[in-house]
Structure 1
């Protein structure tokens, strides 16, 4: 059986700087930052008291959840993921299956890192107090890793594979590649893919304890996340969700769906926490192999990549990431692709980062712009030494391009790279 082409026909996003797709497109194009000060973190004596948290109001929630559902749900990750996933499905022009039989051709892979942490806390308090019966009927849904994919599967009536994945910061990008593989092999016609992450001190506290978050921008939150900057002092934690509908090209063409971009291919691997790799640092050889394999699997040459949307978290690893890209691509200082990081505007949304950043990457391809790297007007000298500063745009560049490579590198020395191409001709 011939391998299928895979395209993107719908997207949804809930990010710290916007909670719907049109606003998100406007936010990244104009460099709008969604990082704010959180008094709760200050009251709990966090060193880093700023974070990226989506502004999801009660009015927004009422558009996606029934009053009964809202009484039982207490999981920010499920809220974010349901909104992003539902919006992506609608954006693709797909209907909710009300038939007795499910849609056997459609599936879901929606990943997470931590889901239902506030519900866990509530459950522990009730159980310890001997009040287990007060847990409610949704406690399992909200605290199992596949809770969101199961919830969306029921709402949308999907009858193909409905599952989750979890691989730290690579989760969302990995989910895209898992859905791509399923469609490419002919096992599904369309897959809703994405990832989400809860917000709050119980999610972010461990990172604060590791002292890898910035402590010196509590009074200036929009300046705190500084990928590739000489004054970067750590990543700002964030949360949210991103979602994409992947579809077999022929199916999309047959139903007249709009097409945002094509997924050419990608790769996932691990550095094995060897050769300089560890739980928190990547094996550089593993990263370079992942990039090269993604390019090879996409059927292109390294020189065809116009833009890189990097992982680039505003730590000491930023320069190393660019060295790995330069080595893998075999590029010179002046012909390196344009490179940007969304995290200056959103912070690091952890397991939601990859999917939110994939949405941002595809919007750039579709709408012909390369968003700027805010807070990077003092490019780190180690980066200036290896690539031309003009390849790290500070302001948005309004220009079309053809191919973008998006990377995510996560805790546990795990890597994922996906390659997107601008809209194919119908």
Structure 2
């Protein structure tokens, strides 16, 4: 059997829309999902940031039953909605449960459930705490929900590596398929952590943008005046399977997952290594496992969070890796539109990367008024940019607190 891994289904729940196609179309239009929050957190707790890129409550109401929603943390709700879409998009493959796996990523887990349970305990006492509190708050809750939905018995695993989590989950899914331990893997990631405590903590470390007067333009990767990221939430899902298995059942194929790379900076708990050496290692591994050369990379969905110190090392790493071919790679920073989904970011960005390769179109990076002179990249600014015809490849990068680096290589089919 061939060891080629292909993408046959996509799903997404993002600040730009519900569904992979809706998210893709909104991204091409340069839509911003950031907005001022309607709660009183900023005033009540003195939080200097009163905006984010949230998912509208109607999304859950329209896609889950009341019983399902009650038994799931928002993190798991988004995961289940996105996974169901991807599964249907893949044609609901008939696969033995023992040959079906789930590989999921999240950075924080069921934070809403944990904090709500603590409030209930303090205000109403122990007997009022929900019996399902622990299963709902566990970081593996989303993976478990998806696994039970589709009776996955080969494995249901959770990767927790901060903002690199769901890119790692795709990489581990790739390995599981290549090793012959599964025929189909539902891979992805989710996050739902727009909360007073996280907004306060990220604000205290000066990681969030404070452009309260203009949330839509606050996330501005590569801009000389960038001042931090915008928190987002949601989920992304890819159905991956071996090419032979996909072709045997007549499935449509979006793209190939060529390979992946992983490394760690071992430098600082929050800051990336200034020269991007760990990033280079992960990107190089992705190229090598995919059998690619620097000249093959024509698109990169960059991690590019819009923090003052974070964007430069990645740009240095891209230039160091691709050398004279760096200018041929069209770079998109889609967090400019949907904010930073933390542990779910990599999965959503992988969905966009697959669609970019399939459609030969790089999504735009919005909100750049003046590119930081330290950043020497070919950036898709303001409008979508056409990618070359023929065989092309792309990278999607994710880096996280703790020094985690994960990169997935996507190839056209």
TM value normalised by structure 2: 0.93
CA 1:56–1:282: 2 relative to 1, 3 Å: farther
Distance 2:242 2:71 in 1: 37
CA 1:201–1:128: 2 relative to 1, 3 Å: closer
Residue number among 118, 122, 126 corresponding to 2:116 in the alignment: 122
Q: Which residue number in structure 2 is paired with residue 31 of structure 1? A: 30
Contact 1:338 1:393 in 2 (8 A): no
Q: Which residue number in structure 2 is paired with residue 87 of structure 1? A: 85
Q: Which residue number in structure 2 is paired with residue 174 of structure 1? A: 168
Partner-residue secondary structure (3-state), 2:47:
coil
| Cα drift, residue 132 of structure 1 | 2.6
| Cα drift, residue 90 of structure 1 | 1.0
Which is worse superposed, 109-118 or 396-405?
Answer: 396-405
Q: Which residue number in structure 2 is paired with residue 68 of structure 1? A: 67
Q: Which residue number in structure 1 is paired with residue 5 of structure 2? A: 6
| Cα drift, residue 45 of structure 1 | 2.1
Residue number among 394, 400, 403 corresponding to 1:410 in the alignment: 400
| Cα drift, residue 114 of structure 1 | 1.8
Residue number among 348, 351, 355 corresponding to 1:359 in the alignment: 351
Partner-residue secondary structure (3-state), 1:394:
coil
Contact 1:173 1:408 in 2 (8 A): yes
| Cα drift, residue 125 of structure 1 | 3.1
Distance 1:293 1:415 in 2: 11
The question of 1:225 aligning with 2:219 is answered yes
Q: 1:270-419 residue pairs with structure 2 within 5 A?
A: 270-273=264-267, 277-282=268-273, 284-316=276-308, 317-331=310-324, 335-383=327-375, 386-387=376-377, 390-401=378-389, 402-419=392-409
Distance 1:254 1:326 in 2: 41
Contact 2:363 2:380 in 1 (8 A): no
Q: Deviations over 1:259-302 (max 9, x none)?
A: 110000011111222xxx54322362222111112111111111
Q: How many residues align?
A: 406
Contact 1:96 1:156 in 2 (8 A): no
Aligned Cα RMSD in Å?
A: 2.0
Distance 2:252 2:121 in 1: 50
Distance 1:302 1:365 in 2: 16
Runs of 4+ deviating beyond 6 Å: none
Partner-residue secondary structure (3-state), 2:216:
helix
| Cα drift, residue 50 of structure 1 | 1.7
Q: Which residue number in structure 2 is paired with residue 249 of structure 1? A: 243
Q: Deviations over 1:144-190 (max 9, x none)?
A: 11111111111111111012110001011110000000001111001
Distance 1:24 1:290 in 2: 27
| Cα drift, residue 391 of structure 1 | 4.2
Contact 2:272 2:313 in 1 (8 A): no
Contact 1:225 1:235 in 2 (8 A): yes
| Cα drift, residue 343 of structure 1 | 0.7
Q: Deviations over 1:85-113 (max 9, x none)?
A: 1111111111699xxxx611111011112
Distance 1:315 1:138 in 2: 37
The question of 1:205 aligning with 2:204 is answered no
Which is worse superposed, 38-47 or 217-226?
Answer: 38-47
TM value normalised by structure 1: 0.90
Q: Which residue number in structure 1 is paired with residue 47 of structure 2? A: 46
Structure 2: stretches of 5+ with no match in the other structure: none
Q: Which residue number in structure 1 is paired with residue 56 of structure 2? A: 55
Contact 2:332 2:380 in 1 (8 A): yes
Q: Deviations over 1:395-421 (max 9, x none)?
A: 112344521111111101110111001
| Cα drift, residue 251 of structure 1 | 0.6
Distance 2:277 2:143 in 1: 34
Distance 2:198 2:230 in 1: 13
Which is worse superposed, 124-133 or 166-175?
Answer: 124-133
| Cα drift, residue 3 of structure 1 | 6.1
